[in-house]
Structure 1
Amino acid sequence: MISAADVEDLTGRVRGPVLVPQDEGYAQEVTGFNLAGVARPEVVVGATGTEDVVAAIGWASAHGCPVGVQATGHGADEPMEGGLLITTTRMQEVKVDPGRRTARVGAGVRWRSVLAASLPHGLIGLNGSSTDVGVIGYTLAGGLPVLGRTFGWAADRIRAAELVTPDGVLHHLDADHEPELFALLRGGKGNLGVVTSLSFELVPLQAFYGGGIFYPGADAHQVLDAFSTWAPALPPQANTSIALLRLPDMPMVPDPLRGQFLVHLRFAWAGDPEDGAQSLAPMRAVSHPVLDTAGPMDYRDVDRIDMDPTDPVPLFHTGGFLAAFNISTVEDLLAVAGPGADFPVVAVEIVQMGAAFARPASVPDAVHGREAACFLGVIALLVPPVAQAVPAAVGTLLEAMAPHAPSGVFVNHYGFPPTEAERARAWPAEAYTRLVQTKTALDPQNLLRYQHVVGQGHR
């Protein structure tokens, strides 16, 4: 139990707010985007900068108090009970150096803020399907960029980081300073400490073409067959994914799509829009689209490609890599999640990989999945009346796809695996061994025991 005197001591060490459950503002402070992973800490610190994080971690270490960290809460898969939660939403530093093509961001920054600062210079960071997501948590896990086939993994662009380890020590990391710890951060996620700032490369983007095509769900077989031969042959400028969508009849879904089973092709082209349109043309000739939104696009509107939800929802998500997506994979996927199936999952997506995703890192890292042909993602809403049926349904799908999957999974879309053996699948075996060794050395009390924990279990 954390006493009132302990809370008073913590309050005296930090500049940001310190809240306990009975305080006004506590609920708002601890609530993230994924409402399935509700945080109920005994105390929460709203960190205003690196000094607050150092002080809070030092306090937690002295008290043997477990620590959770939350920026946007998109990855909050596991409920947090008790302990100290450090929220980083007030840490909003964004500095763009257009000459060096770099950005430095604080721990609470979302991708949309990076784009607002970088796009006037013709530069972008390697964001994923939603710019509402926090930069640091997304990037530390590898990142799965919209333009990943063109530019590679987001983690490969990290150039420096500030890390507060569980002993309360601040480390300044790059390829020349503590290179082993720096390598494990790049793809290793966040279990070795709290990253308070990140510096990374930006990439130039002068022209962009993107959007999506929605097909009737009844034509899923025809569309997926076409995708399975079209997507692997695309040039590196082309980035694509395809999803089976069972969209709820809810206000957050646009009227033309609400309550329907659809196939959603997503497409992003880094370059001349005319070339992008030509590359997409074969898929435009497939089936009879319900809606086609693809065209020349301002990259500020990149969220329109995947159309991820923008309001907090209780989510169940998982996924893994595929060795191939071919006719056999299509058959096994549709047998479980195709037309007519009673399948309580909002989205099953296939992200085409290869090209720059397969490129080796310039310096060592812990990114998993370079050899994969595709990424399989599964997203479900944990709402009545389907919530109880979701885990079994997802298990059935993953079992059906197992013959097409290599051993690895993607940590940012892996949900909450129950055992260490399952968690270990999110990293290459050699990288996981190093992560466990480093975790044991840096965090012998296992203070950072929430979310993607390595080596020591959760308690």
Structure 2
Amino acid sequence: MTTTEALAPLSRPAATPLAPEAVADLVRQVRGPVFRPGDEGYDAERSGFQAGYRHRPAVIVGAADAADVAAAVGFARAQQLPVAVQVTGHGLSTATDGGLLISTRRMTDVTVDPAAGTATVAAGVVWGQVVAAAAPHGLAPLNGSSPGVGVVSYTLGGGVGVLARTYGFAADHVRAVELVTADARRVRVTAETDPDLFWGLLGGGHGLGVVTGMEFGLMPVARLYGGQLVFGAEQIDDALAAYLRWTETVPDTLTSSLALIVYPDLPQLPAPLRGRHLLQIRIAYTGSAEEGARLVAPLRAVGPVVGDDLREMPYEESHTIHRDPSDPHSYNGDNALLDGLDAAALQRVAALTGPAAPLMVVVQLNHLGGALATGSTGGGAGAVGHRDARFALRVLSPLGDAAPEDDLATAREVHAAALAAVEPWRIGRSVNFLLGEQRGRADAAEVARSTHGTAARSRLADLKATHDPENVFRFHPYEA
């Protein structure tokens, strides 16, 4: 039985409109704006980076602070409305249909304590803000590859970032979480005040409350040796095999990933990229540039490259290593955590997702291990699943702006075929890399179960039943 089946759900039908006087009362309770369908600003407020799927709430609260969040949750409880939360919408996996959406994008305070080596952020902060605030002090957060991703949601999923093999998951370094509970209480959760809830919040994903703020440790990193090596189609198979051999030799101070992309033949793209099937190997090394160059020499020896911009850089330029897109678009994706991998399987993935694929597929393989497996220097003990994974394989396809069903069906078929090539090594999925609409998938229950092992799932289910017995935060299911 799933946890959501065991919980007593809120009973208000999604189609039941809110009474005007109820909404007026909500407006009086909060400082931020309130939007209903048809209001100016409603569509903009519910939209995020994922353009293919958008929340369709009965009401939106643009929270100005934690007090607004608490008032919104209290209102939702009184009106029997489920609650969803959105900052940037990068990881939207289940859109609301009805209910109340809390938008935290206005909550943007960032404070760095250089003496303590910590940052404190509000719920709407994105990683680029933290990088910029920490850099003058020679410090760096455990941010991901895109500066526009929200700090809180990323960290609640674990957080596999640019420095992941050196320092572990972002969740491992959290000191405190400011939370609004399902009964609208504001609490500060730490390993001392509530160790079980603290564990579940850090790596368990979402669904235990609304996080309004977070304090976490920063790392003593001011610079990197990093960038990309880019290989053309004729070098892909050899480079993939070389990369897998190479990952067995590198130190934990080097974090890397690779991406396979068939670029469209568009005039706005640089000429070396147009219409080409390319392999990008991304490097982030915290040691010296000289040692970094020595470490990547086996990759450079594969053969001619299309591009090579490996260099010493200030940490503020770390986002240039992956060069993630910044404009909202529609996409769908899946992922697999792997306990191993061989070259033949990875080459098969490249062939299935290459120029012969029926739609564009971006493949990313992250080299894991190091501090991700050992628990990190922060001594974290959160609920991050499958720490023993050696690789994370992601597949993602851009879709039409409205995510038409035929594109979605084709994408899922291609993604399933690519992931089937690595099935012998598959041990689960990453919460952070669950991309696209999960609702309607025939294997939705299996997807939810795959993010954690049996014991962790049971513990998370117990926490859900304890802290959200009415399933107020139902859009991130905990499957037992």
Question: What TM-score does the superposition give when structure 2 sets the normalisation length?
Answer: 0.91
Work out the CA distance in 1 between the residues paired with 2:469 and 2:61.
23
Work out the CA distance in 2 between the residues paired with 1:75 and 1:239.
23
SS of the aligned residue for 2:136 comes to helix
> 1:344 corresponds to which residue?
359
2:203 to 169, 182, 187: 187
> 1:412 corresponds to which residue?
432
Q: Kindly provide the amino acid, as one letter, of the partner of residue 445 in structure 2.
A: E
State whether residues 139 and 218 of structure 2, in contact with CA within 8 Å, keep that contact through their aligned partners in structure 1.
yes
Q: How does 1:322-361 map to 2 (within 5 A)?
A: 322-338=338-354, 341-360=356-375
Work out the CA distance in 2 between the residues paired with 1:447 and 1:259.
47
> Once the 2 structures are TM-superposed, how far is the Cα of residue 455 of structure 1 from its aligned partner?
4.0
In the alignment, structure 2 segments of 5+ residues that lack a partner are: 1-16
> 2:302 corresponds to which residue?
286
SS of the aligned residue for 1:267 comes to strand
> 1:447 corresponds to which residue?
472
1:432 to 448, 457, 470: 457
Work out the CA distance in 2 between the residues paired with 1:258 and 1:303.
22
State whether residues 260 and 350 of structure 2, in contact with CA within 8 Å, keep that contact through their aligned partners in structure 1.
no
Higher RCO (C-alpha under 8 Å, 6+ residues apart):
2
> Once the 2 structures are TM-superposed, how far is the Cα of residue 437 of structure 1 from its aligned partner?
1.3
Does residue 225 of structure 1 match 2:241? yes
> 1:397 corresponds to which residue?
418
1:301 to 304, 317, 342: 317
Point out the more displaced range, 268-277 or 116-125. Answer: 268-277
Q: For the aligned residues, what is the CA RMSD?
A: 1.8
Q: Kindly provide the amino acid, as one letter, of the partner of residue 35 in structure 2.
A: L
Work out the CA distance in 2 between the residues paired with 1:272 and 1:14.
51
Does residue 365 of structure 1 match 2:382? yes
State whether residues 440 and 455 of structure 1, in contact with CA within 8 Å, keep that contact through their aligned partners in structure 2.
no
Does residue 63 of structure 1 match 2:79? yes
Work out the CA distance in 1 between the residues paired with 2:267 and 2:368.
33
State whether residues 161 and 172 of structure 1, in contact with CA within 8 Å, keep that contact through their aligned partners in structure 2.
yes
> 2:395 corresponds to which residue?
378
Does residue 423 of structure 1 match 2:438? no
Does residue 203 of structure 1 match 2:228? no
Q: Kindly provide the amino acid, as one letter, of the partner of residue 204 in structure 1.
A: P
Cα displacement string for residues 229-273 of structure 1 (whole angstroms, at most 9, x for unaligned residues): 012210111111112112234577544323321111111111211
> Once the 2 structures are TM-superposed, how far is the Cα of residue 208 of structure 1 from its aligned partner?
1.0
Work out the CA distance in 2 between the residues paired with 1:39 and 1:188.
22
Q: Kindly provide the amino acid, as one letter, of the partner of residue 470 in structure 2.
A: Q
Work out the CA distance in 2 between the residues paired with 1:9 and 1:304.
46
Q: Kindly provide the amino acid, as one letter, of the partner of residue 449 in structure 1.
A: R
Matched residues, percent identical? Answer: 39
Work out the CA distance in 1 between the residues paired with 2:264 and 2:330.
14
1:245 to 239, 251, 261: 261
CA 1:335 to 1:291, structure 2 compared with 1: closer, same or farther past 3 Å? closer
Q: How does 1:136-175 map to 2 (within 5 A)?
A: 136-175=152-191
CA 1:252 to 1:198, structure 2 compared with 1: closer, same or farther past 3 Å? farther
Count of residues paired in the alignment: 453
Q: Kindly provide the amino acid, as one letter, of the partner of residue 399 in structure 2.
A: L
> Once the 2 structures are TM-superposed, how far is the Cα of residue 332 of structure 1 from its aligned partner?
3.5
Q: Kindly provide the amino acid, as one letter, of the partner of residue 437 in structure 1.
A: D
State whether residues 225 and 284 of structure 2, in contact with CA within 8 Å, keep that contact through their aligned partners in structure 1.
yes
SS of the aligned residue for 2:421 comes to helix
Point out the more displaced range, 189-198 or 239-248. Answer: 239-248
State whether residues 61 and 72 of structure 2, in contact with CA within 8 Å, keep that contact through their aligned partners in structure 1.
yes
SS of the aligned residue for 1:225 comes to helix
Q: Kindly provide the amino acid, as one letter, of the partner of residue 351 in structure 1.
A: N
Question: What TM-score does the superposition give when structure 1 sets the normalisation length?
Answer: 0.95
> Once the 2 structures are TM-superposed, how far is the Cα of residue 333 of structure 1 from its aligned partner?
2.3
2:98 to 78, 82, 100: 82
Work out the CA distance in 2 between the residues paired with 1:109 and 1:365.
22
